[in-house]
């Protein structure tokens, strides 16, 4: 069994491999704090793929350098939780000084690059140094897709493996396949929301928000929907807040001209009052998607959580991250800025999901190989070692 560390854990661990936000029962403690619960999905999913008997966080903000000798002696490896680390404005605190003192492998696991709307990605010398140090400490560095792989290749990092994201494999099912029921049998849907978006990455905020609004309303008119938020302050207040905080949240959105004009109309407010879901516990999202006939929308990990549980999902792409996820897994996707009309019937096509099924099986094997070659004790199944595969090899 392994003794491991994690950089950027994004939540507290309970029952060995389950993640929730810190002090999650103390609602008021963090109700004014934005934390993307999707990051906790990745952390939770990572733990579910590993065998280990000891887990701790490696501090990079205020590290205790006097502990480094003990860390090197007591732990087998450290992993960097997958996230969007490779972009123009990333800051690494004291990561370089920590990495200089580490003698154990540092496994970058499912990390990704974010392209700006205009111009090329420009990485700081700090980011380049951190990535190169991590890559030099391991057999391979794991990225979420082809774009991220190219960004690393362009700065001289060649030992790259495309592994997607641990969230896709959290159920550890190498044989997972999405099989579509008839569309007229669909009754319930989860809609993953992302109201807040940066103009740095989304090329047209008005089009983004108005399309988002109209999509939610059209689906709500057709199915029994739940709106799935992932950590925005106003949405958290709508779900967890006192009556006064709920009204403060709606008032704040109405006072935001962009949101008021392009997103939060009367129908959307009613849906947010009656159908909004948020939790600080990853398992609550898994329980929710398992009850839905489909999940679709804007959130990378909310959609991927559904697919990991065999629930059909469609991505709405609006930046390089969402496009890269859809491409890696061949997930049916719609470009928010295409100017076209979205018709669910056009995407409810088994041949489209068969592309996902094939890509999932391939990426599952890549993810397992990545963990094995970097010395991680993984629960993932060696598909090629199963009896039926062994018989094929022998023949």
CATH of the domain at 305: 3.40.50
- In this prediction, residues 126-143 reach a mean pLDDT of 97
pLDDT higher than 70, residue 390:
no
Q: What is the pLDDT of residue 388?
A: 67
Q: Residues 331-370: pLDDT tens digits? A: 999 999 999 999 999 999 999 999 999 999 999 999 999 9
Q: Tell whether 204 is covered by a domain.
A: yes
Q: Give the Cα separation of 160 and 170 in Å (integer).
A: 22
Shared-domain flag, residues 234 and 316:
yes
Shared-domain flag, residues 320 and 365:
no
Q: Tell whether 247 is covered by a domain.
A: yes
Q: Residues 210-268: pLDDT tens digits? A: 999 999 999 999 999 999 999 999 999 999 999 999 999 999 999 999 999 999 999 99
Continuous H helices in 138-242: 146-154, 205-220, 233-240
- What is the band of 384 on the pLDDT scale with cuts at 50, 70, 90? confident
pLDDT higher than 70, residue 391:
no
pLDDT higher than 70, residue 395:
no
Contact 117, 86 (CB under 8 A): no
Three-state SS across 225-287? Answer: EEEECCCCHHHHHHHHCCHHHHHHHHHHHHHCHHHHHHCCCHHHHHHHHHHEECCCEHHHHHH
Shared-domain flag, residues 248 and 143:
no
- In this prediction, residues 162-177 reach a mean pLDDT of 97
Shared-domain flag, residues 336 and 366:
no
Q: Residues 39-65: pLDDT tens digits? A: 999 999 999 999 999 999 999 999 999
Name the residue range of residue 50's domain.
3-172+360-385
Shared-domain flag, residues 296 and 349:
yes
User: Which is higher by pLDDT, 247 or 384?
Assistant: 247
Q: Tell whether 395 is covered by a domain.
A: no
Q: Give the Cα separation of 360 and 188 in Å (integer).
A: 25
Shared-domain flag, residues 213 and 148:
no
Q: Tell whether 22 is covered by a domain.
A: yes
Residue 100, token pair as written in the block: 């200089």
Q: Is 357 left (phi over 0), alpha (psi -120 to 50) or beta?
A: alpha
Shared-domain flag, residues 80 and 155:
yes
Q: Give the Cα separation of 364 and 332 in Å (integer).
A: 18
Q: Residues 75-93: pLDDT tens digits? A: 999 999 999 999 988 999 9
Contact 328, 363 (CB under 8 A): yes
């Amino acid at each position: 069994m392994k003794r491991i560390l994690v950089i950027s854990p994004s939540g507290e661990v309970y029952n060995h491999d389950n993640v929730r936000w810190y002090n999650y029962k103390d609602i008021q403690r963090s109700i004014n704090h934005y934390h993307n619960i999707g990051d906790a999905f990745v952390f939770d999913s990572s733990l579910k793929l590993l065998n280990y008997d000891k887990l701790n966080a490696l501090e990079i903000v205020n590290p205790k350098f006097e502990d480094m000798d003990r860390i090197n002696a007591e732990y087998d490896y450290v992993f960097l939780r997958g996230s969007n680390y490779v972009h123009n404005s990333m800051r690494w605190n004291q990561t370089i000084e920590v990495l200089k003192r580490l003698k154990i492998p540092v496994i970058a696991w499912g990390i990704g690059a974010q392209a700006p709307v205009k111009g090329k990605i420009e990485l700081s010398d700090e980011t380049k140094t951190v990535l190169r140090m991590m890559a030099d400490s391991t057999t391979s560095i794991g990225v979420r897709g082809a774009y991220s792989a190219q960004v690393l290749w362009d700065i001289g990092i060649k030992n790259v493996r495309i592994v997607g994201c641990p969230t896709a494999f959290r159920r550890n099912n190498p044989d997972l396949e999405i099989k579509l029921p008839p569309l007229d049998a669909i009754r319930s849907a989860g809609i993953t929301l992302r109201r807040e978006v940066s103009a740095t990455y989304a090329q047209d905020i008005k089009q983004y928000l108005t399309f988002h609004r109209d999509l939610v309303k059209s689906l709500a008119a057709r199915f029994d929907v739940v709106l799935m938020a992932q950590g925005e302050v106003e949405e958290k207040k709508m779900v967890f807040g006192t009556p006064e905080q709920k009204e403060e949240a709606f008032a704040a959105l109405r006072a935001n001209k962009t949101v008021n004009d392009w997103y939060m109309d009367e129908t959307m407010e009613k849906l947010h009052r009656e159908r909004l879901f948020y939790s600080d516990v990853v398992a609550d999202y898994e329980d929710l998607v398992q009850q839905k006939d489909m999940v679709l929308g804007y959130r990378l990990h909310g959609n991927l959580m559904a697919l990991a549980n065999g629930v059909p999902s469609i991505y709405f792409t609006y930046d390089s991250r969402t496009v890269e996820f859809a491409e890696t897994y061949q997930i049916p996707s719609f470009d928010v800025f295409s100017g076209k009309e979205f018709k669910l019937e056009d995407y409810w096509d088994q041949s489209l999901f068969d592309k996902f099924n094939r890509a999932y099986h391939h990426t599952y094997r890549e993810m397992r190989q990545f963990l094995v070659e970097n010395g991680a004790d993984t629960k993932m199944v060696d598909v090629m070692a199963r009896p039926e595969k062994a018989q094929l090899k022998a023949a």
